[in-house]
Amino acid sequence: MTEPHAKPDTAIGIDIGGTFIKAGLVDTDGNIIYFNKFETPSGKPSAILDVIITAINSIVNDYSGQYNIEGAGLGFPGIVNPIEGTVKYPPNLPSWHHENVVEKFASEFNFPVYIDNDANVMGIAESTWGAGKEHRFIICLTLGTGVGGAIIIDKQVYHGANGGAGELGHITINPRGPLCACGNRGCLESYIGGKYIVRRTLSYLKRFPDSYLHELYIRDKNLVTPKEISRAAEMGDILGLEILSEVAFFLGIGIANFINIFNPEMIIIGGGISNWGKPLLSRARITARKYGMKGLCEGVRIVQAKFKNQAGVIGGACLVFNNKNRNTSLKK
């Protein structure tokens, strides 16, 4: 009889979004062993927490015989305080105001649970195993329905005084600009967040009556999505190109500001809109270099994220591995 091998170390990552809760088991090299997603329940926060608890318990039941599960890392939208364990005002979970998530979890599991803001979690994934793994000073932007950000300083996420730092989508680009979900006007998000891009495209339809996007709108207004806008631009559609140029311009302006403030080595662009790829990034680079300070822009790499829709799960697991040797466990 040979000695049984030690079980490989793994961690659970959970990504809580407005539409889906994604759950997975990840090894210490960032490989996904298991992945699943569940619809986010509407209603009270306790319904969401119940889905998370069920998802974690199911992974523990199925995989703890084979793997050593070191903990669970959760990415929440909103203002997250990783030390206190609280989540405040997630924008896409309207019933949620202020919850101590960690108190709720402390009695449920016999391993530590860590939380952070979802954009920070994605930043951690990219910084550890993704596009930024060779770099120490990184700014990460997540371009989805809204715009999230992560500030990585010397490989660590910068959290600020109350855990809320990195709301890069809500820097003001134009104080008289469109209304943003945060209540202010003209935030970066209100120019380059997915839902605002669609809204602006629709408002331009009359100016571009011969465009492919107008034709699409006539067929069914729900067909005008960020993906179709990007496809239209690729086909040379005049409105598609107009929107692409605008989004790239505002993204570039945002990046120029971040370069001037943080002097990063790399800017990583993730989320659904980042799939617009090279046409978006090459235009944004030109604007960023034009508006950023010359001495700071030199050598800054502006790249697409490595991880796609599993970034939150991979980053959640990374929270566990990164915290393992620090005494910051939130488990009481």
Residues 176-215 that bind Zn ion (CB under 5 A): 180, 182, 184, 187
Query: Could you tell me the CA-to-CA distances from 117 to 81, 150, 203, 267, 327 in Å, in that order?
Result: 8, 9, 32, 18, 20
Count of C-beta atoms within a 10 Å radius of residue 95: 13
In angstroms, what is the minimal distance from the CB of 273 to Zn ion?
16
Using DSSP bridges, classify how beta strands 301-304 and 266-270 pair: parallel, antiparallel or unpaired: parallel
Q: What ranges in the chain are assigned the alpha helix state H?
A: 45-63, 101-106, 118-128, 189-192, 194-204, 212-219, 226-234, 238-262, 278-291, 294-297, 311-323
Using DSSP bridges, classify how beta strands 138-143 and 266-270 pair: parallel, antiparallel or unpaired: parallel
Classify residue 257 as left (phi > 0), alpha (psi -120 to 50) or beta: alpha
Is there a contact between 323 and 112 (Cβ–Cβ < 8 Å)? yes
Identify which of residues 184 and 225 has a Cβ nearer to Zn ion in the complex. 184
In angstroms, what is the minimal distance from the CB of 184 to Zn ion?
5
Rg (the chain; Cα; Å) = 21
Structure tokens at 109: 């599991």
Coil, helix or strand at residue 21: strand
How many positions of this chain bind Zn ion (CB under 5 A)? 5
From residue 29 to residue 48, the character string flagging contacts with Zn ion as x (rule: CB under 5 A) and all else as - is --------------------
In angstroms, what is the minimal distance from the CB of 37 to Zn ion?
27
In angstroms, what is the minimal distance from the CB of 87 to Zn ion?
18
In angstroms, what is the minimal distance from the CB of 257 to Zn ion?
14
- What is the residue whose two structure tokens read 């306790």? 46
Identify which of residues 77 and 130 has a Cβ nearer to Zn ion in the complex. 77
Identify which of residues 193 and 316 has a Cβ nearer to Zn ion in the complex. 193
In angstroms, what is the minimal distance from the CB of 148 to Zn ion?
12
Structure tokens at 27: 């090894």
In angstroms, what is the minimal distance from the CB of 78 to Zn ion?
13
Identify which of residues 41 and 178 has a Cβ nearer to Zn ion in the complex. 178
Question: Judged by CB under 5 A, which of 45, 48, 70, 170 binds Zn ion?
Answer: 170
Structure tokens at 268: 């990583």
Separation of alpha carbons 229 and 273, rounded Å:
10
Identify which of residues 65 and 183 has a Cβ nearer to Zn ion in the complex. 183
Identify which of residues 180 and 251 has a Cβ nearer to Zn ion in the complex. 180
Identify which of residues 182 and 205 has a Cβ nearer to Zn ion in the complex. 182
Residues 50-109 that bind Zn ion (CB under 5 A): none
171 binds Zn ion (CB under 5 A): no
Separation of alpha carbons 231 and 215, rounded Å:
14
Residues of the shown chain interacting with Zn ion in the complex, contacts defined by CB under 5 A: 170, 180, 182, 184, 187
